């Protein structure tokens, strides 16, 4: 009988019956996760479209197995190694994947400094948060600079170029003409890396905002650094997308 | 209360860093770097075929797991949060299957 009285005073409450957060996460953090999920759908739509269009075109097999020289063709999908093989200051040297490798390294390192900033935020260590946020911002800006170089190189084109129907020479690529292969290859390059670059850019803007807020002590007054955590989630997502872009656009 | 707002600098004392936690972060970074290095080696030594594509996709999933689980802290969230984010991505899997099949069909139609 005594046990019954106790249960009468404290009714049994399920996890989802209210009065507590069942997912043990704040509203803002939860919404950041669902925003990232929706963003993942957008990026996968772009990448899957790339896959589909690539499969609906013939593969360029002029240099299969290291035999023969690679010849770009307007009908066959280009081999990424042969298109993205340039590194700044090394003109004319064939270095496939080296520059994107450097970009990948920069973005992974900026992700590491971002986790370190979040970790410092948990400890309410404002100086450490500032330091690591600054490193993350530098990493993000460096990545954007690399991407700008990659774009301008892609647009300027190779030394050989292609001959157009009217007899003129064309170098590089834009949304209408493309020396590397089928037109959609250039269009998808601009859209996918451009959409990712836009995310990096907005990430850098958000990082600068929270750096400013950290510096003026907003989060110390608030009592927690959760905003750093939320922007951190976004920043890691940008890194995650790059991992997929790197594989599907440059490796395969 | 006004005093706290005016002199926030002196109010908060940071706790010392947790060595174990920081070691784990660097370990994850090392794994990500190592997997990328393996991808590079394969890209330069292996001939392009279906097996190489499968290996690349497998290694990408490994990297994605470490970024989401460790960097984004998903491993330490509640199960309901983790599943409500991960389960909807099943639609992406369907999209991949549907559109890659479609791409192959388009190529057949063109030839």
In a structure prediction context, what are the per-residue pLDDT tens digits for chain A, which is 252 residues long? Answer: 455 555 566 677 888 888 888 888 999 999 999 999 999 999 999 999 999 999 898 888 777 666 667 888 888 899 888 888 888 888 878 888 899 999 999 999 999 999 999 999 999 999 999 999 999 999 999 999 999 999 999 999 887 778 887 888 888 888 888 889 899 999 999 999 999 999 999 999 999 999 999 999 999 999 999 999 999 999 999 999 999 999 998 988
Do both B25 and B53 map to the same domain?
yes
Q: Retrieve residue A24's tokens.
A: 């043990």
Average predicted confidence (pLDDT) for chain B = 87
Residue B51 has pLDDT above 60, yes or no: yes
Which pLDDT value is given to residue A9? Answer: 65
Is the CB of B22 inside 8 Å of chain A's CB atoms?
yes
Q: Is residue B59 part of a domain?
A: yes
> Tokens 């925003």 label which residue?
A35
Is the CB of A58 inside 8 Å of chain B's CB atoms?
yes
Contact A116 B25 (CB under 8 A): yes
Q: What does the pLDDT look like over B76-95, one tens digit per residue?
A: 999 999 999 999 999 999 99
Count of the separate structural domains present in chain B: 2
Which pLDDT value is given to residue A147? Answer: 95
Do both B55 and B97 map to the same domain?
no
Do both B106 and B72 map to the same domain?
no
- Distance between CA A147 and CA A223 in Å, rounded? 38
- A27-251 architecture in CATH? Up-down Bundle (1.20)
Contact A25 B26 (CB under 8 A): no
Per DSSP, the three-state class of B4 is: helix
Which pLDDT value is given to residue B3? Answer: 46
Do both B71 and B100 map to the same domain?
no
Do both B61 and B95 map to the same domain?
no
Sign of CA dihedral A57, A58, A62, A66: positive
Q: Which of A41, A63, A240 to mutate to test the interface with B (most CBs of B within 10 A)?
A: A240
How far B27 CA sits from the closest chain A CA (Å)?
Answer: 10
How far A141 CA sits from the closest chain B CA (Å)?
Answer: 20
Q: Measured over all CA atoms, what is the biggest interatomic distance in chain A, rounded to whole angstroms?
A: 99
Which pLDDT value is given to residue B28? Answer: 94
Percent of chain B at pLDDT > 90 equals 62
Could you tell me which residues come within 8 angstroms of residue B84 by beta carbon, excluding any fewer than 6 positions away?
Answer: A23
Which pLDDT value is given to residue A211? Answer: 97
- Distance between CA A133 and CA A111 in Å, rounded? 10
Contact A23 B72 (CB under 8 A): no
In total, the C-beta contacts within 8 angstroms joining chain A to chain B are 152
Which pLDDT value is given to residue B81? Answer: 94
Which pLDDT value is given to residue B1? Answer: 44
Which pLDDT value is given to residue A10? Answer: 67
- Distance between CA B27 and CA B37 in Å, rounded? 15
Q: Is residue B91 part of a domain?
A: yes
Q: How many other C-beta atoms are found inside a 10 Å radius of the C-beta of residue A122? A: 17
Between helix A226-245 and helix A27-55 the angle, nearest 10°, is 10
Set of chain A residues whose Cβ sits within 8 Å of the Cβ of B12 = 124, 126, 220
Do both B46 and B94 map to the same domain?
no
Do both B64 and B87 map to the same domain?
no
Q: Is residue B10 part of a domain?
A: no
Query: Is B74 in contact with B84 (CB distance < 8 Å)?
Result: no
Q: What does the pLDDT look like over B12-44, one tens digit per residue?
A: 788 888 888 899 999 999 999 999 999 999 988
Do both B35 and B47 map to the same domain?
yes
- Distance between CA A23 and CA A16 in Å, rounded? 9
Which class for A5: exposed (0-12), middle (13-18), buried (19 or more C-beta within 10 A)? exposed
Do both B85 and B69 map to the same domain?
no
Beta bridge partners of A162: A170
**Chain B residues 38-77 with CB within 8 Å of chain A:** 39-40, 43-44, 47-48, 53, 56-57, 59-60, 63-64, 67-68, 70-72, 77
ipTM given for this complex: 0.86
Do both B68 and B101 map to the same domain?
no
Q: Is residue B62 part of a domain?
A: yes
Nearest CA among A197, A35, A91 for reference residue B85: A35
Q: Which domain holds residue B90?
A: 78-111
Do both B32 and B68 map to the same domain?
yes
Nearest CA among B58, B92, B76, B39 for reference residue A38: B92
Do both B26 and B60 map to the same domain?
yes
Q: Is residue B4 part of a domain?
A: no
Query: Is B48 in contact with A251 (CB distance < 8 Å)?
Result: no
Which class for B12: exposed (0-12), middle (13-18), buried (19 or more C-beta within 10 A)? middle
**Chain A residues 121-160 with CB within 8 Å of chain B:** 123-128
Conformational region of residue A92, where left means phi above 0, alpha means psi within -120 to 50, and beta covers everything else: left
Contact B72 A237 (CB under 8 A): yes
């Amino acid at each position: 009988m005594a046990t019954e009285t106790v249960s009468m005073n404290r009714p049994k409450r399920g996890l989802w019956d209210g009065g507590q957060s069942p997912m043990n996460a704040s509203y803002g953090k939860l919404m950041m996760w669902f925003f990232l999920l929706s963003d993942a759908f957008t990026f996968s739509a772009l990448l899957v479209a790339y896959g589909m269009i690539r499969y609906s075109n013939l593969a360029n097999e002029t240099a299969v197995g290291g035999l023969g020289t690679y010849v770009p063709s307007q009908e066959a999908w280009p081999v990424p190694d042969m298109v993205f093989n340039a590194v700044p200051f090394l003109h004319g040297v064939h270095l496939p994947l080296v520059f994107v490798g450097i970009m990948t390294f920069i973005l992974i390192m900026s992700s590491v400094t971002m986790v370190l900033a979040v970790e410092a935020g948990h400890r309410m260590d404002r100086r450490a948060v500032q330091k690591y946020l600054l490193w993350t911002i530098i990493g993000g800006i460096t990545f954007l600079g690399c991407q700008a170089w990659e774009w301008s190189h892609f647009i300027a084109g190779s030394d050989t170029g292609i001959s157009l129907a009217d007899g003129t020479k064309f170098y590089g690529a834009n949304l209408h003409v493309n020396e590397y292969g089928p037109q959609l290859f250039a269009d998808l390059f601009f859209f996918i890396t451009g959409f990712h670059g836009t995310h990096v850019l907005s990430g850098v803007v958000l990082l600068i905002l929270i750096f400013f807020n950290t510096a003026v002590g907003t989060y110390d007054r608030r009592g927690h650094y959760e905003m750093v955590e939320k922007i951190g989630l976004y920043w890691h997502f940008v890194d995650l997308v790059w991992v997929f872009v790197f594989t599907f656009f440059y490796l395969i | 209360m006004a005093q706290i707002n005016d002199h926030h600098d002196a109010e908060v004392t940071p706790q010392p860093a947790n060595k174990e936690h920081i070691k784990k972060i660097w370990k994850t970074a090392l794994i990500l770097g190592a997997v990328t290095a393996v991808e590079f080696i394969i890209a330069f030594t292996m001939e392009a075929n279906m097996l190489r594509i499968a290996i690349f996709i497998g290694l990408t999933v490994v990297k994605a797991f470490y970024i989401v689980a460790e960097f984004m802290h998903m491993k330490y969230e509640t199960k309901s949060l983790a599943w409500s984010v991960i389960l909807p991505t099943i639609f992406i899997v369907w999209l991949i299957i549907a559109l890659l099949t479609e791409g192959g069909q388009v190529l057949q139609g063109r030839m």
